[in-house]
Amino acid sequence: MQGKIIALIEGRLSNPFEILGPHKKEGKIIIRTYLPHARKVWLITGVKEYIFNEIEKGFFQIELESLDERHYRLKTVDYNGLEEEFIDPYSFKKPILGELDLHLINEGTHHKIYDKLGAHSMKINGIKGTHFAVWAPNAERVSVIGDFNRWDSRIHMMRPLKNSGIWEIFIPGVEEGALYKYEIRSRYHGNIIRIKSDPFAFYSEVRPKTASIVVDIDSYKWNDSEWMDKRRHSNPYESPISIYEVHAGSWMRVPHENNRFLNYRELAYNLIPYVKELGFTHIELMPVTEHPFDGSWGYQTTGYYSATSRYGSPEDLMYFIDRCHQNAIGVILDWVPSHFASDDHGLRFFDGTCLYEHEDPRKGYHPDWSSLVFNYGRNEVRNFLVGSALFWLDKYHADGLRIDAVASMLYLDYSRKEGEWIPNVYGGRENLEAIAFLKYLNETVHHYFPGVLTIAEESTAWPMVSRPTYLGGLGFSMKWNMGWMHDTLEYFSKDPIYRKYHQGNLTFSMLYAFSENFILPLSHDEVVHGKGSLIGKMPGDNWQRFANLRLLYAYMFGHPGKKLLFMGSEFGQWREWDYNSSIDWHLLQYESHRGVQLLVKDLNSLLKREPALHERDFQWTGFEWIDFHDSENSIIAFMRKAKNTEDFLIFVYNFTPVIRLNYRIGVPRPGFYKEILNTDSSIYWGSNTGNHGGVYAEPVPAHGRPYSINLTLPPLAALVFKPQ
């Protein structure tokens, strides 16, 4: 016993429950407690008080004939005369986590792991407190430290649960709002001490502080049952999807209050009406998982279960998402399982070993971002990540997850030179463990949450990213079309006089447009790091730049695929995006910028009301070329078709500033073709060249069709016609 007492005092005893709390011995009850700040300690049971004997410095013991209460109180007085009274946490002998929980966690299949690990307020035998649990299999001792125990690791040492690597303790009296961390003494590297934030924390201090915060995330009362029920029975593949990508910290700021962020509730009051007015169907939030460095935009995460406190509390984020749903707006969250921040309070070297990351830097270090790569082959790590994905869908009612940097997960040699990576067991460059993880992730998410989207940002030609796993795919719902984005922006950056030599940049995407379920992204990645803004990429004078930008958006909305546009681009912001400041709202005082914004609104409206623009986004049968051969004049034309083949739209694009008169386009049937959109309209700040509301088809064959319409094509403009 003396050896265990010394080990306890030195912080080396793995299971303090072996000697602390009540123990039966020879018909008597011996109670021990270790309170290094105490000068005296009393046991309080009923109306009786018993004083403890001090065996070693701070180590107290008492022997009783019987004990009236299972969970007795302790009263202490310290050397400054401060008195405290509390229930002994070591009187709670029975573990909270059961054998099934431990088995599933170690197996990597505990899909509600977030209900078990971390800090959870609860009642045990009528006593309120907080249950703490953490995975640290290579620890010799783990303690909860916090503002409730003077951040002293000697007060609340946890117990290990069998051979699971899980440590836990229930601490009575710890309430919501309490700050805490874990102090971990490793078995290795000279018993190194690690002080860590909780990997399963639901809430954290505002950076640069790093403590975790006890919070109840199950108390929010949701009001989105109608939306959630509709989502479960929806078919997103045939629905209009237009996503407004937002960085919460720079969409709008408050200049007269030190340029501060809007909080989640202020975003609800300001962002939601704006998005609803412009007609976007979804908001995509760049990562709102907790992260230490603003300049990472959230993509270097430390808190995979923690909504960043920069913008408010977990309940505030729930309110924002709830209000989005009540306004028929879906919410997609950026989520980053590809790498994690290397900050010391986070997951790195968590228990004195490379627990979450690979030990070999050729697999565990990411050269592009100086971050760390998860060990996807480890069951508990896979469970941690899949649990995080399910957590945001379950607790926060998110409608989708956009998974960042999937390409970096798929390839072992991603951004690595020869000798800097390790081949797989077959000698190849494919990361087999990451591939298996992604498949399992998608299968699990779609099993529990039908109607939810998983979206891959994947920039290579990896096949079948958005095809079901049972067909050999990765199982994502959709994939960003990075090839379309690159080719399209390269084309639009050309002076129109040279565009005839680059017609293939426009047409090539149709060779693979239906190989995946594509989203067409004009995202934040295209307006940072010296790339300039979208309008800044456009050639020509001021008028031509705006005309080109409007033409770009009309081309995107006509092209098969769902749509994504980054904030500020919807009104043609000139300045490159800066995460430290608001987007340039003052530009809306100018008619040119308001024209772009109005066009985006009208394109979203067209997308939603015309089945031809969304029902067959992912099917060849929804698209038909009319003509792509007129490279000399830089003109293309095509049809988009609904399930009802009689319902179609005609798109005609003129990518030069030259007005084309008497330009004939083949159409499939006679009748009046109404001009339902013209990006050169004066309401968009165009020249107002057009076709007076529409044209009648004539029995003049063109482009292999028996009828044709004779058009005036405006400069740098798109026309959309609907047969009446």
Q: Domains of the chain, with CATH numbers?
A: 2-91 (2.60.40.10), 225-480 (3.20.20.80), 619-723 (2.60.40.1180)
Rounded distance between C-alpha atoms, residue 486 and residue 465, angstroms: 19
Q: Is 585 exposed, middle or buried (0-12, 13-18, 19+ CB in 10 A)?
A: middle
- Mean pLDDT per block of 10 residues along the chain (724 residues) reads 86 93 90 95 88 94 85 93 94 94 96 97 95 97 96 96 96 97 94 96 97 96 97 96 98 94 97 98 98 95 97 98 98 97 96 95 92 96 98 98 96 93 95 97 97 96 96 97 97 97 96 97 96 96 98 98 98 96 97 98 98 97 97 98 94 98 97 98 97 97 97 98 96
Q: What is the pTM of this model?
A: 0.95
For residue 139, count other CB atoms closer than 10 A to its CB.
Answer: 28
For residue 28, count other CB atoms closer than 10 A to its CB.
Answer: 12
In one-letter notation, the amino acid at residue 301 is: T
Q: Are strands 38-45 and 73-78 parallel, antiparallel or unpaired?
A: antiparallel
Whether residue 208 is preceded by a cis peptide bond, meaning omega within 30 degrees of 0, is: yes
Rounded distance between C-alpha atoms, residue 694 and residue 462, angstroms: 44
Residue 434 in tokens: 């990451």
Rounded distance between C-alpha atoms, residue 53 and residue 31, angstroms: 10
Helices marked H in 354-401: 361-364, 379-394
Q: Are strands 53-56 and 59-64 parallel, antiparallel or unpaired?
A: antiparallel
Question: 290, 457, 487, 602: which one is catalytic?
Answer: 457
| Vertex 473 angle, CA 469 and 475, to 5° | 60
In one-letter notation, the amino acid at residue 695 is: V
Q: Would you state the pLDDT for residue 46? A: 78
496: DSSP letter: G
The dihedral of CA 105, 110, 114, 115: what is its sign?
Answer: negative
Rounded distance between C-alpha atoms, residue 535 and residue 553, angstroms: 11
Rounded distance between C-alpha atoms, residue 549 and residue 539, angstroms: 10
- Please indicate whether residue 457 is annotated as part of the active site: yes
Collapsing DSSP to helix, strand or coil, 387 comes out as: helix
Rounded distance between C-alpha atoms, residue 611 and residue 404, angstroms: 30
Label each residue of 555-570 as H, E or C. HHHHCCCEEEEECCHH
Contacts of 95 (CB under 8 A, 6+ apart): 159, 161, 168
Contacts of 673 (CB under 8 A, 6+ apart): 650, 667, 694, 695, 696, 697, 709, 721, 722, 723, 724
Q: Is 56 exposed, middle or buried (0-12, 13-18, 19+ CB in 10 A)?
A: middle
- What's the gap between Cα 681 and its chain centre? 38
- Please indicate whether residue 404 is annotated as part of the active site: yes
- What's the gap between Cα 599 and its chain centre? 29
Question: 183, 290, 404, 675: which one is catalytic?
Answer: 404
Q: Would you state the pLDDT for residue 438? A: 98
Polymer length in residues for the chain: 724
Residue 317 in tokens: 């984020």
